[in-house]
Structures are given as C-alpha cells and as structure tokens.
C-alpha cells in the first residue's frame, strides 16, 4: 500500500477522531506538567550530580575527596546548572517538550494514516522506530499492546520518554537502538512502525540546510531489518517526508522512491504501479502550501513537503 498525503484525508472525520485521541493524551501530560517538570529535574540532576562526583574523584583522589566533600561541592558544583541538549534545565524545557509533542504539521496525517491503514488493534507485539519522546508509542500502549520503542538518543530513551509513560501510567519498553541494526530476533513483532525517520538516517547539513544523499542506502538496510523482525503476515508501516528536490534535499524524491518501491515490490501490502499518482507536481506543492498555511500556523516558513505512506508485509 502506498499513499500520498492529501488535504481531503487530513480533514476527514476518521482522521479528526484519531487526532482527538492523541490530543487527549497530550492534555493529560499538560495538566501534569508540574509533575513532569519535577521528574525531569530529579532524574537529570541525579545523573548530572553523579557525573560531577566522578569527575572530582578522578581529579582529587578518594580519601582527600571525602574529607573535603562539602567545600569542593560548593566551589565546583554550585556555579553549574544541569542542562539538557545545551539548555539549562528549567520548566522551560518541560514546556518545549510538550509543545513539540503536539500534532504539528505532517503528524496530523501520519499518525491517523498509520493507525487506520495498519488495522492495529490490541494485544499485538509492536516495535516503534525512532520515536524519541513522541506520543505515538504511548497511543499504541494504551490499546493494551506490548510496545517496544527505540531511538538513538539515550537521554530521551532513559529519562524523558519513561517520564511521559509514568505520568500516563502506560507501559512502553524504551531502549537505545538504531534502525539499521535491530537487536530483536527474527519474527518477533506483529507490527513495526517507522514514522518519518528514514530521511534522517544519513542526514547532513550543507550551507545550513539539511540534505540526505542516501550514500550508504541505510534506509534500505533498515527496511530489510524491519522485515526480518516482523512475523509472517505482519506489517511494516512507513511514512517518509516527500517533496521535489528543489523544495527539500533531505526529503525523499520521486525517482528514489520509485527505485525503493521496485526493490521491495514483493513485500508491498497491495500491488502498486500508479506512479503518476505520487509524483510531487507543482499542483501538489501548491496544495501543501495551502495546507500548511491554513492548518498549521506554528511554522509558516516550513518548506511545503508532502508525506508518503507505505505498508509492507512478510508473506506467510
């Protein structure tokens, strides 16, 4: 199955219903933002404090250190402030986390599209790739699914995401991992979800702009890994940032996607040969510009990229 984001779908009742379910989760987090703030401060400060102690031990030696613990801490630690991604750890960080968790821009299409077209229900084994601190694995977990979630960011997987799950009283197994080299055994999961991650695997910055040359074809290696770990008859649900090359050099482009589809044609959930329907034409660019300006006021300067959804399966 392959489908391109459309204005009609994103404004449909089914998509609106699922977006409202996601916003219910977000509202619960927002109403508990003070609790989240306290959890993050406690966990980050504990990690930061331990690091400072180890550093002092290495520099000073054990016996001398313990004799003069208090003055050393006052002198060397007090002027410092714990930080997350370079930002001083204050309630502003909590605010930014919650703001980024809203269904901004393409997520309003991707999340409902993935849920509706995967037919995921309950009591499934699910792997979510590159989730970060997003709401997506939490939404899947509230449907009584076994959810494993991986991301390359240790801070997000060890601290932030578990804090969100704790507040919502949901069970998600967060761990650090990479899409192109999964630790799971063959035939482990009923579903693998990978929402707008593949375009970032080989992302670089050139002249201040993100680009992806797909030099090592890590996206294809990752997809093969996804197919390896799903059970026969299971589904791999992908979404990709998609545009013409003059709009975005990080997004997937038509020729590359066509080649990608040809490589995994045997695994498509449904046969596909209507490539003209997924060309990112000038008409599609104008539709995206209109959609972003009307529907998502947060970032009006964003390039008018589309989103492509693909579902693969492993034959039984």
At residue 79, the pLDDT reads 41
Question: Cα–chain-centroid distance for residue 3?
Answer: 20
pLDDT for 34-68, tens place per residue?
Answer: 888 887 777 665 554 444 444 444 454 444 443 44
Residues of the chain with pLDDT under 70: 43-93, 295-301
CB 127 within 8 A of CB 148: yes
Predicted TM-score of the model (pTM): 0.84
**Residue 256 shares a structural domain with residue 160:** yes
pLDDT number for residue 37: 80
Residues 62 and 190 in one domain: no
Same domain, 271 and 306: yes
CB-based contact 194:179 (threshold 8 Å): yes
Q: Are residues 203 and 139 in the same domain?
A: yes
CB 269 within 8 A of CB 312: yes
pLDDT for 46: 53
Instruction: Please tell me whether residues 281 and 208 are part of one structural domain.
Output: yes
Q: How far is CA 33 from the centre of its chain?
A: 21
Q: Based on the fold, state whether residues 71 and 122 are members of the same structural domain.
A: no
Burial class (CB in 10 A: 0-12, 13-18, 19+), 286: exposed
Supply the pLDDT for residue 6: 82
Could you give the C-alpha distances from 210 to 66, 244, 260, in angstroms and in order? 49, 14, 21
Query: What is the distance between the alpha carbons of residues 112 and 98, in angstroms, rounded to a whole number?
Result: 20
- Whether residues 87 and 118 share a domain: the answer is no
* Domain interval for residue 292: 2-29+103-313
Task: Give the pair of three-digit tokens for residue 198.
Answer: 């593949």
Single residue among 97, 123, 148 that ends a domain in this structure: 97
How many structural domains are present in the chain? Answer: 2
CATH number for position 229: 3.40.50.150
The CA distance from 140 to 121, in Å, is 9
Helix (H, G, I), strand (E, B) or coil at 200: helix
Three-state DSSP class for 139? helix
Which ranges constitute the DSSP H helices of 119-248? 136-141, 154-155, 161-168, 218-229
For residue 180, give the nearest of 237, 149, 219 by alpha carbon: 219
SS3 of residue 214 by DSSP: coil
Q: Are 37 and 25 contained in the same domain?
A: no
């Amino acid at each position: 199955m392959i489908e391109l984001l459309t204005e009609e779908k994103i404004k449909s009742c089914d998509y609106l219903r699922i977006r409202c379910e996601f916003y219910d989760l977000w509202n619960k987090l927002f109403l508990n933002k003070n609790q989240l703030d306290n959890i993050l401060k406690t966990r980050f400060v504990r990690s930061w404090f331990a690091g400072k102690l180890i550093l002092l031990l290495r520099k000073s030696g054990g016996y001398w250190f313990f004799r003069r613990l208090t003055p050393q801490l006052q002198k060397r630690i007090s002027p410092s402030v714990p930080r997350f991604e370079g930002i001083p750890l204050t309630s502003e960080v909590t605010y930014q986390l919650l703001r980024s968790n809203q269904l901004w821009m393409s997520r309003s299409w991707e999340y409902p599209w993935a849920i509706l077209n995967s037919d995921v229900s309950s009591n499934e084994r699910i792997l979510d790739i590159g989730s970060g601190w997003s709401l997506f694995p939490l939404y899947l977990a509230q449907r009584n699914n076994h959810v494993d979630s991986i991301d390359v960011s240790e801070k997000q997987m060890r601290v932030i995401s578990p804090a969100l799950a704790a507040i919502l009283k949901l069970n998600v197994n967060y761990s650090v991992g990479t899409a192109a080299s999964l630790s799971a055994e063959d035939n482990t999961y009923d579903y693998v979800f990978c929402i707008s991650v593949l375009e970032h695997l080989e992302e670089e910055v050139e002249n201040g702009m993100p680009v992806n040359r797909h030099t090592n074809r890590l996206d294809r290696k990752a997809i093969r890994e996804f197919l390896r770990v799903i059970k026969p008859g299971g589904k791999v649900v992908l979404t990709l940032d998609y545009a013409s090359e003059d709009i975005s050099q990080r997004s997937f482009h038509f020729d590359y996607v066509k080649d990608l589809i040809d490589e995994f044609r045997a695994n498509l959930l449904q046969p596909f040969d209507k490539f003209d329907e997924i060309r990112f034409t000038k008409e599609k660019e104008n539709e995206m510009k209109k959609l972003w300006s009307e529907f998502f006021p947060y970032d009006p300067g964003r390039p008018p990229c589309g989103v492509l959804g693909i579902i693969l399966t492993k034959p039984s």
